[in-house]
Amino acid sequence: MKITDHLKNANSTLFSFEILPPLKGQSLKELLEGIAPLMEFKPPFVDVTYHREEFIYKKHPNGLLEKVSTKKRPGTVGICAAIMNRFHVDAVPHLLCGGFTKEETENALIDLNFIGVDNVLALRGDAPKTEGRFIAEPEGHSFASELVEQIVRMNNGRYLHEETENSYHTDFCIGVAGYPEKHFEAPSMKFDLKYLKEKVDKGAEYIVTQMFFDNQKYFEFVDKVRQAGITVPIIPGIKPIATMGQITNLPRTFFLDLPDELTDELEKCKTNADVKAVGIEWSIKQCRELIDANVPSLHFYTMSKADTTYKIAKEVF
């Protein structure tokens, strides 16, 4: 079922979450058992992230460097199939521009359509760690809006090659990312919103936000998005802080600020357990206020660790 239909049918705020495919070599069984407790809160959909290949440089005895591709978290499509089969919920794969040609994207979408996936989150992706800026594949997309356009074309039965034309058309519901604290490359919020609107004008039907820790930032973002003429649902992303490292890593990685009130509490923490307790309390407060504001769903970035999200959901749903 489409995310937009789940949202339309709901009469209160929904619970949803995102997981990461397990690291290469780890088992799917462990992942599924790990998220099973969260099914108590009846998530209508579960997002599965995608991680593009990274490159490492291997030094040979003759001094030459070899560029080698590594893929740490394969299997997004397979994990979606496993989640749908095991829990009978919708799985939403994340699709990236980065690392994909249009042809590979089309093939991935055909596979997803075959296994019964109804929704995709269309993203540009980041530059690989070894490259300073995002560079599209020679036959790939530079921005998420172009990926949205390709998916909409397939929904209209228009494929890359004539021989596939007139075959069964797909019917994906398309989500895109939004940034309450602005995407880090955008020179201003106005600029970022212009291109968010482009994604929606091209066919995106809902927005999932980057994590934020200050609800005011989300509420102000929603106001600005509405003023820009965008009317689709905006699902807030929630990330409970759980380790000492995340206190500085999250702002650095995701270009966001922690509010003073939260930082003051985190500064008193001596262990990861202390941080987790503060993170849970903060998220509960955030979630209660967002539910009162009647947001469409609380979408948790679980990083595949369900225990923290479970404790929060138990309090707020």
Using CB under 6 A as the binding rule, whether residue 126 contacts ligand FAD is answered as: yes
Q: Which of 13, 16, 113, 145 binds ligand FAD (CB under 6 A)?
A: 145
Q: Which of 89, 115, 152, 186 binds ligand FAD (CB under 6 A)?
A: 186
CB 30, min distance to ligand FAD, A: 20
237's CB contacts (< 8 A; 6+ apart) are: 18, 208, 209, 210, 211, 212, 299, 300, 301
Q: Which stretch binds ligand FAD (CB under 6 A): 27-35, 139-147, 160-168, 278-286?
A: 139-147
Using CB under 6 A as the binding rule, whether residue 94 contacts ligand FAD is answered as: yes
Using CB under 6 A as the binding rule, whether residue 215 contacts ligand FAD is answered as: no
Does 289 participate in catalysis according to the annotation? Answer: no
Using CB under 6 A as the binding rule, whether residue 242 contacts ligand FAD is answered as: no
Coil vs helix vs strand at 86: helix
**Binding mask of the shown chain, residues 36 to 75, with x at each position contacting ligand FAD by CB under 6 A:** -------------xx-------------------------
Helix (H) or strand (E) holding 56: strand 54-59
User: Are 4 and 205 contacting, i.e. CB atoms less than 8 angstroms apart?
Assistant: yes
Q: Which of 75, 125, 236, 296 binds ligand FAD (CB under 6 A)?
A: 125
Question: Beta strand 54-59 with 65-70: parallel, antiparallel or unpaired?
Answer: antiparallel
Question: For residues 126 and 71, what is the distance between their CA atoms, to the nearest angstrom?
Answer: 15
DSSP state string for 278-297: HHHHHHHHHHHHHHHTT-SE
Using CB under 6 A as the binding rule, whether residue 171 contacts ligand FAD is answered as: no
Read off the tokens for 32. Answer: 């599924």
Using CB under 6 A as the binding rule, whether residue 185 contacts ligand FAD is answered as: yes
Q: How many residues does the chain have?
A: 317
CA nearest 4: which of 42, 44, 50, 40? Answer: 44
User: Are 15 and 89 contacting, i.e. CB atoms less than 8 angstroms apart?
Assistant: no
Question: For residues 117 and 172, what is the distance between their CA atoms, to the nearest angstrom?
Answer: 8
User: Are 192 and 183 contacting, i.e. CB atoms less than 8 angstroms apart?
Assistant: yes
User: Are 6 and 289 contacting, i.e. CB atoms less than 8 angstroms apart?
Assistant: no
Question: For residues 259 and 257, what is the distance between their CA atoms, to the nearest angstrom?
Answer: 6
CB 142, min distance to ligand FAD, A: 7
Using CB under 6 A as the binding rule, whether residue 96 contacts ligand FAD is answered as: yes
Using CB under 6 A as the binding rule, whether residue 255 contacts ligand FAD is answered as: no
Q: Which stretch binds ligand FAD (CB under 6 A): 112-120, 177-185, 287-295, 302-310?
A: 177-185
CB 279, min distance to ligand FAD, A: 19
CB 246, min distance to ligand FAD, A: 17
Question: For residues 131 and 127, what is the distance between their CA atoms, to the nearest angstrom?
Answer: 6
CB 195, min distance to ligand FAD, A: 3
Using CB under 6 A as the binding rule, whether residue 208 contacts ligand FAD is answered as: yes
Size of the site for ligand FAD (CB under 6 A): 22
Catalytic residue, chosen from 18, 106, 146, 205, is 18
Using CB under 6 A as the binding rule, whether residue 237 contacts ligand FAD is answered as: yes
- Give, in order, the Cα–Cα distances in Å from 77 to each of 47, 80, 254: 11, 5, 25
Binding-site ranges for ligand FAD (CB under 6 A) = 49-50, 94, 96, 123-126, 143-145, 177, 183, 185-186, 191-192, 195, 199, 208, 210, 237
* Catalytic residue ranges: 18
